[in-house]
Structure 1
Amino acid sequence: MAAPGVMEAVELGDRYEIVPSKRLSAFDSGMAEAYAATDRVDSSRKVFALIAPGHLANRGLGIAPTRNAAGNYLMWPVASGIVDWPVGVEGSEVLWGRRPVFIYGIPAGEKVVGANNQLPTLNESQLLKNYLQPAVQMLRDLVLIGLPHRAIRPQNLYYQSGNGGDIMFGDCLASPPGSHQSAALETIDAAMADPIGRGGGSAAEDIYAMGVTGLMLYLGRDPVANFTDEQIINAKINSGSFSTLAGGEKLAPSLAEFFRGVLCDKVSDRWTIKQLEGWMTGAHFNPTLPSVPQRASRPLKFCGVDYLNKPALAHGMSRHWNEAIALLTSSDFDNWYKRGFGDEKAPDKMMRIHGLAAAYGPQSGIRDRAVSRFIIHMGGHLPLCYKEIRTSLTGLGAMLSHYYERKEKVQQIAEAMRARLPHNWFEEQPNLRPEEMQLRRSLETVDKVIDRQGPGYGIERVLYELDRGTPCKSPLVADYYVVEMADLLPAMDAAIPGAPHGTLPMDRHIAAFIATNMKRLMDNEMIALANRNDEILYRTAILRLLAIVQRVHQQYSLPRLGQVVAEMLEPVIAAFHNTGMRDHIRSEIDKHAKECRFDEMLLLLDGEGSLKKADNDGFAAAIQEYANLERGRLWLTGGGLTDTARVRGIAHKVAATTSALACSASLAAYGVFTMLF
């Protein structure tokens, strides 16, 4: 993650130093990489840093500073934030960006999992005292702040001290939730999803993972280590998680009760924290029967496997997409679905699914949409599946963000959303979790923007709407981990020296990021930004957006951005007609660029402003005056004074006038003469 050979230390605040050249891979956590760090204030304290991925939202940044560590049973960061970080090398130059970081104290004890991934074996007493008691307390503490751990696994456990005794749980903040869990440790629906698309989950997923981890520690091994992920999921669907993971093992009666309770596949029947605490103090609960799907009257063979229930077939179809398309057109599937489960309404359901697949989306994708809708219908709470996409609804934003550079995956996600497959998934659920209900409301916004073509809309807007913590992916600032509007303008200012000359401080990602994160509607500004063919309107619209952001966050120490904006506005200035006014505006723009006052620049250049109005009025008057002069010139050059007809007419008029005057003079002279004589 860090550029190799960078010796310069990186600072977090005034207290911690991180050394990019010193990796501590033993403390890596999922997608987060560990590096050596020092505490300037307390040099005796041994700490390390976890650098989180720079392309994904990170839930820990907002949570870590709000509380202290959860007792002694959970590693909790002593500091966190976003730091400058070397992200690459270009020639002899180190390229710097920004990354999320969490500072942890180095555990006093060893990792629970030894060399070669060797698991210890805990007896019943040790499991209860050293593992389950710390686990229940840790989960209780996390429930109080509404934070699922989502990284409970043997490889993320440490001893409190030495190589035995009480166990503590490792980092849960630096990597996306559930992204590094094996299929054995995840519930059926989460295991089926792409690891990056498993979503935040809840305490119910943590209780399940705690149970699987406890079983592995009790057995001293992973009971499904030789299974593929597909085999594990199929076995869990067909036989239940408890039977798959512990069915063949000899367990003490009290432990069998515990593992049945926490490994129940039906969330409503799975033990809660309260039940766990009751069991720890001696309470007993009725055995929870495995929740297995309804079996068909006869099996359906698909890709060499016999399927006897709908969820298992749905999972198989999601893994073998092209074969699933062929399956839906076969009489075998038609007969199995209609006659295998005693459902009189099965033909109507099939007709409805095919009808909806045809109703939403282009003709070319009907078969893919039909497969997806059948998987949703048969799978219950299994993930949304479409071609290569398998994701929980709450993990859809992380999925889109993670695969954003892979156009085929982005296209598939967009197709699934345009086909209203997320809506279909919600409609098939008997109950929704609070986080799913909140996402359902977000989809209403997504529906309005996904097909709009202008800046601030489209798939870029969908990306930021689905997960508000997603960093801005504009090529200009992608390395600077901009998740807050307050960081946008400073990041642009810092990124400008590395950008090609002439780069404008706006693109579709920046526009979508602003439109999503501003606390008011930005439709008018986005409409103005869509005038890409009108260079004057487009550049003025960019200035207006930057001015709005600056007005909210009051950031003015942006010298490089100010200069780039001034250069960007040169065509806008050149569009003024009055030379003196252009010189005046250019001088004012240069002054405001040094102070980075975008509002003041906008006042000078606004198409509705007084300067533009005066320039337009003056230009209109000049045009009229020029037109008048041009008409006079054309008249003269066209022989207006020497035209024969005109000269003859004038001569006749002059002769008549002269004659009249002569006559009048003669009459007057005659009158005088008669009076005198």
Structure 2
Amino acid sequence: MASDQQGSGTAGAALLKERYEIDPTQRLPDLDMPQAEAYHCEDRRGSGRSLYALLCRADMPLRVGAMRSLKGVQVPGLLTLVEYGIVDWLPGQRRQMAVVYERPSGGRVLPRPGQRFDAIPEAQFIKRVMKPIIQALQEMSQRGVVHRAVRLDNLFWHDQTKERLVLGDCVTAPPGYNNHVVYEPLYFAMANPEGRGQGYSKDDLYSLGICFLGLLTGRDPAHGWEDNDVIRAKLAQSTYASFASDNRVPLNLIEVMRGVLCDDYKERWDLENVDLWMNGRRLSPLQPKPPKRAQRPFKFEGVDYFTCRELAHAMASSWDAALSPILDGRVEVWLRRGMEDNETADAISVAVRLSQSGSEAKSGGDYTVARVLILLDPAAPLRYRELRVTLDGFGAALAAVMMQKKQIRLYAEVLARDLAKNWIDAQGIYSPELGHFENQFKDLTANLQTQMIGWGMERCVYELNEHLHCQSPLIEKEYVSEIRELLPALDRVSLKIDPKTKPVDRHIAAYIGCKWERDTKVQFRALNENSSDRQILGMVSLLAVLQWRLGPPALHGLAGWIGAQLAPIIAGYHGRMRRKELEKEVPKLVRKGSLPELYNLLDNQEERQRDNDGFAWAKAEYAAADQQCRALEAGKLVRDEQAEMIGQQAAAVLSVFVAIVTVCIVLFMRIM
């Protein structure tokens, strides 16, 4: 997803796909989303459409898959997503995701939280509200997208006549992230906003039912409600009883309201049911079965609780205080005597015993509390201290905390202790979806336990978030969202980075391992070796494979960055002449910008074998010479004594000979 250069029309403007010019000086705060700012946008081709752009937060996971599916979709009840992509955003001095929409001229239904607005008359409700919104949800469902941002402050009037409502943006934040808990079904309301998960069209209908209450009364249904009070109200009684009973729902809408606001997911109306109802077929939604109540309450933190779900929610909210009544058996006794639920009591007894044995006994009881809460309320999200996520929302939640530089310890502990498996087992049923989650979390646990570079929690976050841009501090501002953008991004930042910094850190390695599994096993093994020269050579090889497969043909900046770190590899050659050759050839290839050629030079197998053979021959010669020297040194004194003796004997013989010759000459002269 390549970005575009700055627009030439307005100074400092960002240009998206060489067509849409986003002006950073023209803010549109009335169209802001909670996680994205709105700016004026112009189409350079002069289409005549009124447009605006949302600049997304860089530290928030986005729904890029939904962007792809909804781009260009024109349906009466939905804002048209015109284009999306990465732009160079000067105000933030970074690259960011921008999403361009057609601009609604009628404004928001709810401009500010708690503000009163004109209610929609009952006679016009189906035409102005239900038909366009249901049609939009049907179109999205056919494209495999769930909106998950259905709420009053995200409904707009399409034009100034205010005859048609449209749903607003749903791609600039994780599913359900910005929804008040009033709009969320109970199993999502109890989760952290970032961990609510994708959900289904039935969950959109639930949120839409809450919107219907507001549109019929002209009041914000979330106004004055605290999150915990909403959850407790929905646990104590049904959503319809908690929110619809006081809002005087018109008689002809009671049926559909009960259907879409049903707390039991299986019994809640789907899009087909609503469509049948709008076309005149009357249905009878089943009334939710009230939860089983205990004969005697369980007192926790001074409050009496009569149902397992209410008790589980209270214990999750007071985590540390929950351990004592679990360990001393009060919860088990209450289940047997008050709830007459021996099956759950037995399961909790086994869970407590197992969780308090071995290494888990040293965990401070967190694992014990988590397992017991799963058994008390299997329908609730997975809860572990402050962490509350659905299995589907685990990936977005992990991405959010990692992008915002928060602690990920709780996520690692959830994986290490296999709590997802405990949650799946507690559901009591098998489905393909649960089977998928079981296999997925098994793979995540294996990644976590592999602490080598390229794995760990970094690998987990990319495996769970297909479109997450690389979170390496080296290139995070470059917004690398596709593997082919990685090397150009490293090339751009090469002049800003300390040359001693390695171009491949844990995030980049994990990103490559997730996005490009081909031809890299050998490279990752080398990256995790102990010797620095092998690590650097593995890094060069890994990046060289990417340039060879994906381009670009020249990476001068990155090649120079890598070239400054090659000293250990060159020093790894034994031959002085070979080292001098490398020191001469490396700068040439760096200027050329070719990582494959650089790698081939550094790891030429023939040259390396020749160097190793020469080194082995030199070592053998050195050893032989050294042995001779040592032998000579060991026999030195003996040879000196023998030489002295032989010399003395030779000298004696020579002196006798000289004496004899001298005597003979003297005698001869006298005779003569």
Whether the TM-score (by the shorter chain) exceeds 0.5 is yes
Residue 438 of structure 2 corresponds to 440
Mark the CA change 1:578 to 1:399 in structure 2 (over 3 Å): closer, same or farther.
same
Shift of 1:408: 7.0
CA contact (8 A) 2:396 2:465 kept: yes
Q: In structure 1, the residue corresponding to 2:554 is in which secondary structure? A: coil
Please give the per-residue CA displacement for 1:288-322, whole angstroms capped at 9, x wherever unaligned: 20243221112222234322111122122222111
The letter for the 2-side match of 1:428 is A
Shift of 1:548: 2.4
Residue 221 of structure 1 corresponds to 219
The letter for the 2-side match of 1:394 is D
Once the two structures are superposed, the pairs formed by residues 443-522 of structure 1 within 5 Å of their partners are 443-520=441-518, 522=520
CA contact (8 A) 2:76 2:135 kept: no
Mark the CA change 1:172 to 1:604 in structure 2 (over 3 Å): closer, same or farther.
same
Residue 350 of structure 1 corresponds to 348
Whole-Å separation in 1 of the counterparts to 2:358 and 2:120: 55
Whole-Å separation in 2 of the counterparts to 1:177 and 1:421: 23
Residue 105 of structure 2 corresponds to 108
CA contact (8 A) 2:293 2:306 kept: yes
Q: In structure 1, the residue corresponding to 2:105 is in which secondary structure? A: coil
CA contact (8 A) 2:210 2:221 kept: no
CA contact (8 A) 2:540 2:562 kept: yes
Q: Which moved more, 1:51-60 or 1:415-424?
A: 51-60
Once the two structures are superposed, the pairs formed by residues 80-119 of structure 1 within 5 Å of their partners are 80-86=84-90, 88=92, 96-114=93-111, 117-119=115-117
Residue 534 of structure 2 corresponds to 537
Q: Is residue 30 from structure 1 mapped to residue 50 from structure 2 by the alignment?
A: no
Q: Which moved more, 1:331-340 or 1:403-412?
A: 403-412
The letter for the 2-side match of 1:620 is A
Residue 7 of structure 2 corresponds to none
The letter for the 1-side match of 2:427 is Q
Q: In structure 1, the residue corresponding to 2:365 is in which secondary structure? A: helix
CA contact (8 A) 1:547 1:599 kept: yes
Shift of 1:432: 6.7
Residue 628 of structure 1 corresponds to 624
Shift of 1:136: 0.9
Mark the CA change 1:42 to 1:304 in structure 2 (over 3 Å): closer, same or farther.
farther
Residue 254 of structure 1 corresponds to 252
CA contact (8 A) 2:484 2:550 kept: yes
Please give the per-residue CA displacement for 1:271-291, whole angstroms capped at 9, x wherever unaligned: 011111000011111232024
Q: Is residue 617 from structure 1 mapped to residue 618 from structure 2 by the alignment?
A: no
Match of 1:560 among 540, 557, 560: 557
Q: Which moved more, 1:17-26 or 1:481-490?
A: 17-26
Give the number of equivalent residue pairs: 642
Residue 146 of structure 2 corresponds to 148
Please give the per-residue CA displacement for 1:239-277, whole angstroms capped at 9, x wherever unaligned: 111111112332223211111100111111110111110
Unaligned runs of 5+ in 1: 1-5, 89-95, 659-677
Shift of 1:651: 8.2
Q: Which moved more, 1:467-476 or 1:578-587?
A: 578-587
TM-score by length of 1: 0.89
Mark the CA change 1:359 to 1:37 in structure 2 (over 3 Å): closer, same or farther.
farther
Q: Which moved more, 1:188-197 or 1:471-480?
A: 471-480
Match of 1:13 among 5, 10, 17: 17
Q: In structure 1, the residue corresponding to 2:449 is in which secondary structure? A: coil
The letter for the 2-side match of 1:121 is A
Q: In structure 1, the residue corresponding to 2:86 is in which secondary structure? A: strand
Percent of paired sites with the same residue: 32
Mark the CA change 1:462 to 1:316 in structure 2 (over 3 Å): closer, same or farther.
same
Residue 39 of structure 1 corresponds to 43
Whole-Å separation in 1 of the counterparts to 2:91 and 2:478: 10
Q: Is residue 239 from structure 1 mapped to residue 237 from structure 2 by the alignment?
A: yes
The letter for the 2-side match of 1:245 is F
Shift of 1:130: 0.7
Q: In structure 2, the residue corresponding to 1:268 is in which secondary structure? A: coil
Unaligned runs of 5+ in 2: 1-9, 654-672
The letter for the 1-side match of 2:22 is I
Mark the CA change 1:649 to 1:68 in structure 2 (over 3 Å): closer, same or farther.
farther
Q: Which moved more, 1:306-315 or 1:546-555?
A: 546-555
Match of 1:549 among 538, 546, 571: 546
Mark the CA change 1:133 to 1:454 in structure 2 (over 3 Å): closer, same or farther.
same
Residue 594 of structure 1 corresponds to 591
Match of 1:73 among 73, 77, 80: 77
Whole-Å separation in 2 of the counterparts to 1:547 and 1:151: 43
The letter for the 2-side match of 1:577 is H
Mark the CA change 1:42 to 1:51 in structure 2 (over 3 Å): closer, same or farther.
same
Please give the per-residue CA displacement for 1:355-384, whole angstroms capped at 9, x wherever unaligned: 342358543215111111111112222111
The letter for the 2-side match of 1:623 is K
Q: In structure 2, the residue corresponding to 1:171 is in which secondary structure? A: coil
Match of 2:523 among 519, 522, 525: 525
Mark the CA change 1:521 to 1:377 in structure 2 (over 3 Å): closer, same or farther.
farther
Mark the CA change 1:595 to 1:363 in structure 2 (over 3 Å): closer, same or farther.
farther
Q: Is residue 422 from structure 1 mapped to residue 426 from structure 2 by the alignment?
A: no
CA contact (8 A) 1:70 1:138 kept: no
Shift of 1:223: 4.1
Q: Is residue 53 from structure 1 mapped to residue 51 from structure 2 by the alignment?
A: no
Q: In structure 1, the residue corresponding to 2:356 is in which secondary structure? A: helix
Q: Is residue 284 from structure 1 mapped to residue 288 from structure 2 by the alignment?
A: no
Whole-Å separation in 2 of the counterparts to 1:381 and 1:185: 18
CA contact (8 A) 1:56 1:471 kept: no
CA contact (8 A) 2:332 2:349 kept: no
Shift of 1:439: 3.3
Shift of 1:180: 0.2
Shift of 1:456: 1.3
Residue 656 of structure 2 corresponds to none
Residue 273 of structure 2 corresponds to 275
CA contact (8 A) 2:58 2:96 kept: yes
Whole-Å separation in 1 of the counterparts to 2:255 and 2:649: 127
Whole-Å separation in 1 of the counterparts to 2:104 and 2:146: 22
Q: In structure 2, the residue corresponding to 1:101 is in which secondary structure? A: strand
The letter for the 2-side match of 1:595 is K
Please give the per-residue CA displacement for 1:382-427, whole angstroms capped at 9, x wherever unaligned: 1111011011111111111211267774111111111111111111
Shift of 1:333: 2.6
Whole-Å separation in 1 of the counterparts to 2:83 and 2:300: 52
Q: Which moved more, 1:46-55 or 1:517-526?
A: 517-526
Please give the per-residue CA displacement for 1:510-562, whole angstroms capped at 9, x wherever unaligned: 1111112224485543332122x411111111112112222331323322111
Match of 1:296 among 280, 294, 300: 294
CA contact (8 A) 2:72 2:83 kept: no
Q: Which moved more, 1:247-256 or 1:225-234?
A: 247-256
Mark the CA change 1:654 to 1:387 in structure 2 (over 3 Å): closer, same or farther.
farther
Residue 569 of structure 1 corresponds to 566
Shift of 1:139: 0.7
CA contact (8 A) 1:265 1:291 kept: no
Please give the per-residue CA displacement for 1:456-484, whole angstroms capped at 9, x wherever unaligned: 12222222222232222111012222222
Whole-Å separation in 2 of the counterparts to 1:463 and 1:654: 93
Q: Is residue 204 from structure 1 mapped to residue 208 from structure 2 by the alignment?
A: no
Q: Which moved more, 1:338-347 or 1:53-62?
A: 53-62
Q: In structure 2, the residue corresponding to 1:403 is in which secondary structure? A: helix
Shift of 1:151: 0.7
CA contact (8 A) 1:55 1:470 kept: no
Q: Which moved more, 1:294-303 or 1:219-228?
A: 219-228
Mark the CA change 1:345 to 1:366 in structure 2 (over 3 Å): closer, same or farther.
farther
Whole-Å separation in 1 of the counterparts to 2:511 and 2:433: 22
